[in-house]
Structure 1
Amino acid sequence: MTGLDGEILEPEHLSGEKTKGADESSVRAGFWRTFAKAAQQIPFAEDVVAAYYCALDPNTPGKAKAVLLGALAYFIMPMDAVPDFLALVGFSDDIAVLTLAIATVRSNLTEAHRIAARKSIANLDADKTRA
């Protein structure tokens, strides 16, 4: 990943304290695996990846992080309101939750988050064509 990724993915601080909890660690552990499965079904994939970077950015306000981490944690859970393995509709509830979360904190998504998202998606696409 890029140098920007290293800056964004360093340990975060929430109101001066290191963030803790299953949401952040779960999101870090499962985001890319779930995103790779769902990318074709998400019409705003760049926004979702930018939201991931925003949620892990130490400069993002605590309330925005909480909203995004909650939505991203819901996204990576395999069994939610509509299980993700169901064809065509599996990620529809995830998309609704992500849409609302991103709309709520849109002002916190920076150009740096969007650039990192575009680079990450391009790298995923390049990896797919090589495979």
Structure 2
Amino acid sequence: MKAMGILSLAAVEKYGKYFSDSGFWKKLKKVARKAGSKVIYVSLLLYYMMTGGTVSLKDKVLIMGALGYFIFPLDLIPDFLLPPLGYSDDLSVLLFVYSKIKAGITPEIKARADDKLKKLLGDTKTSSL
């Protein structure tokens, strides 16, 4: 199993138990400004990929794990300690999973993520990933 720092794919998948639709949207709205546009944008891409894309069960489990990691406040670097630093591990996990599934992200999924990011953060330019 390929490892990412101290996290492996299996470790990321275990955080899937913390994922729920309502928990995702609650966390996203609560921390959008603190977490930053890149964290929010990648989260949205993964969410829309999982819910609207053609994705394998294996990839859905991986995405749920990454989003569960984002939702769970007591991860490697707790989000509430130093908000910008606290989301750096979340971004690492989100980008790690994004790198595994990015080929399946369609222009429609990107457009949905762009639109939602603008609604959450105002006139924000999306990151090129």
Please report the TM-score for the alignment, with normalisation by the length of structure 1.
Answer: 0.68
Q: Which moved more, 1:91-100 or 1:29-38?
A: 29-38
SS of alignment partner, residue 84 of structure 1: coil
Q: Which residue in 1 is equivalent to 2:96?
A: 100
1:122 equivalenced with 2:108 (yes/no): no
CA contact (8 A) 1:71 1:98 kept: yes
Q: CA deviation at 1:26?
A: 2.9
What percentage of aligned pairs have identical amino acids? 28
CA distance in 1, matches of 2:53, 2:92: 26
- Aligned residue type for 2:101: V
Match of 1:70 among 30, 41, 65: 65
Do the aligned residues in 2 keep the contact of 1:74 with 1:80 (CA within 8 Å)?
yes
Q: Which residue of 1 aligns with 2:76?
A: 81
State the 1:104 CA deviation: 0.8
In the alignment, structure 2 segments of 5+ residues that lack a partner are 1-14, 123-129
Structure 1 stretch displaced more, 67-76 or 28-37: 28-37
Q: Alpha-carbon deviation of 1:24?
A: 7.7
Q: How many residues align?
A: 105
1:1-131 alignment, distance < 5 Å: 23=16, 26-36=19-29, 37-42=31-36, 44=38, 45-57=40-52, 59-87=54-82, 88-125=84-121
Larger Rg: 1
TM-score for the superposition, normalised by structure 2: 0.69
Segments of structure 1 that go 5 or more residues without pairing to the other structure are: 1-21, 127-131
Structure 1 residue 93, shift from structure 2 partner: 1.0
Give the aligned CA root-mean-square deviation in angstroms.
2.4
**Displacement over 6 Å in runs of 4+:** none
* Counterparts of 2:58 and 2:46, CA distance in 1: 13
Instruction: Check whether the contact 2:16–2:65 (CA below 8 A) recurs between aligned residues.
Output: yes
Change beyond 3 A, Cα 1:39–1:97: farther
